[in-house]
Amino acid sequence: MFSKILIANRGEIACRVIRTARKLGVHTVAVYSDADARSLHVEMADEAVHIGPSPVGESYLRGDRIVAAALATGAQAIHPGYGFLSENPDFVDQVVAAGLIFIGPSATSIRAMGLKDAAKRLMEKAGVPVVPGYHGEAQEIVLLASKAREIGYPVLIKARAGGGGKGMRRVEHPDDFSEALSSARREAKAAFGDDRVLVEKYVDKPRHIEVQVFGDNFGNAVHLYERDCSAQRRHQKVIEEAPAPGMTPALRKAMTEAAVKAAKAINYSGAGTIEFIVDASQGLEADRFWFMEMNTRLQVEHPVTEMVTGTDLVEWQLRVASGEKLPKTQSEITLCGHAFEARIYAEDAAKGFLPATGTLHHLRFPDVVPEGAAMRIETGVRAGDAISPYYDPMIAKLVVHAGDRRQALEALRTALAQTEIAGSTVNTAFLAALAADPDFAAEDIDTGLIGRHQEALTAVAPPTGEIISAAAMAASGAGALPPSNDPWSALAGYAHFHGVARRMRLTFGDEAIQAKISVRSDGRFQVALDAPYDSTSSHDIRTVPRLARWPGHITVFEGAVGYIFAVPDPLARSDEAATGSLRAPMPGLVKLVRVAKGDAVIKGQPLLILEAMKMEHTIAAPHDGVIAEIAGEGAQVTDGAVLVRFAEDQNACTAAAGG
């Protein structure tokens, strides 16, 4: 076993690797960028080395600096985590050339599976079924469009490099192919530095089921059963589970045998995942699954496999890389119970899952789950940490395990309802809605489930008078304080000509709320809300709902929903100049501008494309108008920066249009 390893990653996966290394008595070296100088993984590691500025291209993608840090600290091996350089064969070559060990597969194996088109040709030769489509080298648009017609619409355009749904577009009609191809290529180039694509048949009711495989350097390879990752939005996984619901013995046998065959075909060593697309239109049949791709690394969702098999996959990685044989044979690996993983992100589900940033002023995960269930939280942040625009906005992975799927799903719902995060917009309400969705609960799942139900899954009921009253009390200083420390308690019961009262002003979204708070003679608070609520209620400070106060805001928690109220500064002046402008919903790069100054536009018309966190987001006109100013292509903008200003004289629309 190694005595010291370097972890070439950050966030929750770096923390995850550190925990297992510590258990095995292995010392760890962290690397960090400027943005991560005070991060949790730096604090947890035995040593830490600064490797550059915040952008990934200047830090976590600098293989030369990472190798130099390993050599300088005496590390014997490098664990890549996932993402960044984890599937970069050139980095593996760098590591090996420096006399270090890469904790993962060989560069040869990564190259064999790193490009989807080449991997599918290899799998065809190995006898593994692949999705019908075009996986060739030629990339001319005329050829690709022709192949799409041959395959038959709908088709799926996919970047041949990378993963995570980036560079992927579903196309329903030939007229939409050219625009979808251009968009997919831009996104693929930005994310992976490779804009080449493949075109495949789109399966009507697809399930995404993957098999965890593991190999060693002695020719052994095993599977650790399957995971279902069909709950996706924009081709990115949201909730994963193991085992796959509805899995039949025949399909499991065929799929796991194909996965092990795929691993052996490239002499695979280490943790890997074989991803399959399954046609669930007629149930799960053994002849209706096809190879999609192989991820030659540890997966984000690996904890569900660990929970149902009782293994530590990171420990297996360290043991195999240090020269040991696989810890278990196939017959020794068994399934037990059911597990779910929910990915908690800083994102706005109601706004198309736009990534969010912000400081996590309040962060609290559940202490207990229902009897008979187990839970673990995988995170790389603490209260007070910031979600940076430079990296993936994941906050945590909430993982639960129980005896069967129904019990595990109930544990997931309970845990999400007890999670409290304030300081950034998060997706806990969306995750809870998905976990409660009738089709999801009934195992009627496919990759289109979220898209079909998105409006319902992202809808949040408006705050009740009780919730608003709690926010008003907290804003006044009355909420969330123990009665003995409450500064208002000295005034309780006091009255001269009228009761003591305080006026409070809040905003919820664009809505202004007025409240009057009084202290009653019995020590309770009375909150009167102005129109349109026109309600009066009384509250005991000891029964105030869960809430968190953070600079200029109050978040009240109701189940998995966090209602965010702004507390306006009475001395602040409104910015009238901001009217008639369109602001960036997140930090990003202006990738493409579709209109120019002086153009007349209509509501819903695409104005520009903003690239944030390697994904493209179309910014459309919120109303008819004339463009007075627009950000230039290549501009790097901050959250809230003005992207577009409209002409103040809306009559200019008619003039510009020649009316």
Enzyme catalytic residues: 297
Query: What number of helices (H) and strands (E) belong to the chain?
Result: 17, 38
Query: What does the block give as tokens for 571?
Result: 């001395």
CB 14 within 8 A of CB 46: no
Q: What is the DSSP string of 331-380?
A: GG----SEEEEEEEESEEGGGTSEE--EE-SEEE--S---TT-EEEEEES
Q: What is the rounded distance in angstroms from the CA atom of residue 565 to the CA atom of residue 383?
A: 19
Q: Which of 19, 6, 135, 653 is nearest to 380 (CA)?
A: 19
Which DSSP symbol is given to 281? B
User: CA 513, CA 500: separation in Å to the nearest integer?
Assistant: 20
- CA distance to 305, 330, 337, 373, 457, per residue, from 334 (Å): 11, 8, 10, 19, 35
3-state DSSP assignment of residue 486: coil
Give the CA count within 13 Å in the CB-facing half-sphere of 154: 11
In this structure, the number of other CB atoms found within 10 A of the CB of residue 295 comes to 19
Say whether 224 sits in a helix, a strand or coil.
Answer: strand
Residue 140 makes CB contacts below 8 A (sequence gap 6+) with: none
Residue with tokens 């799929």: 255
> What are 399's strand-pairing partners?
341, 376
Q: Which amino acid is at 40?
A: L
DSSP string, 25-42: T-EEEEEEEGGGTT-HHH
Residues near 438 by Cβ (< 8 Å), separated by ≥ 6?
none
Choose among 156, 201, 154: nearest CA to 174: 154
CB 78 within 8 A of CB 292: no
Helices in 53-115 by DSSP H: which ranges? Answer: 63-73, 89-97, 107-114
Longest dimension (CA), the chain: 91
Structure tokens at 532: 């349109």
Distance between CA atoms of residues 261 and 265, nearest Å: 6
Helix (H, G, I), strand (E, B) or coil at 199: strand
Q: In b/e form, how buried is each residue of 272-290, taking b as 16+ CB within 10 angstroms?
A: bbbbbbbbbeeebeeebbb
Q: Find the angle CA(180)-CA(184)-CA(187) to the nearest 5 degrees.
A: 140
**Which residues, at least 6 apart from 27, have a Cβ–Cβ distance to it below 8 Å?**
3, 4, 5, 21, 46, 47
Q: Where are the beta strands (DSSP E) in 403-453?
A: 420-422
> Beta partners for 430?
none
Quote the Cα angle for 378-613-599, to 5°: 150
196, 161 Cβ separation under 8 angstroms: yes
Question: Do the strands 394-402 and 338-345 form a parallel or antiparallel pair, or are they unpaired?
Answer: antiparallel
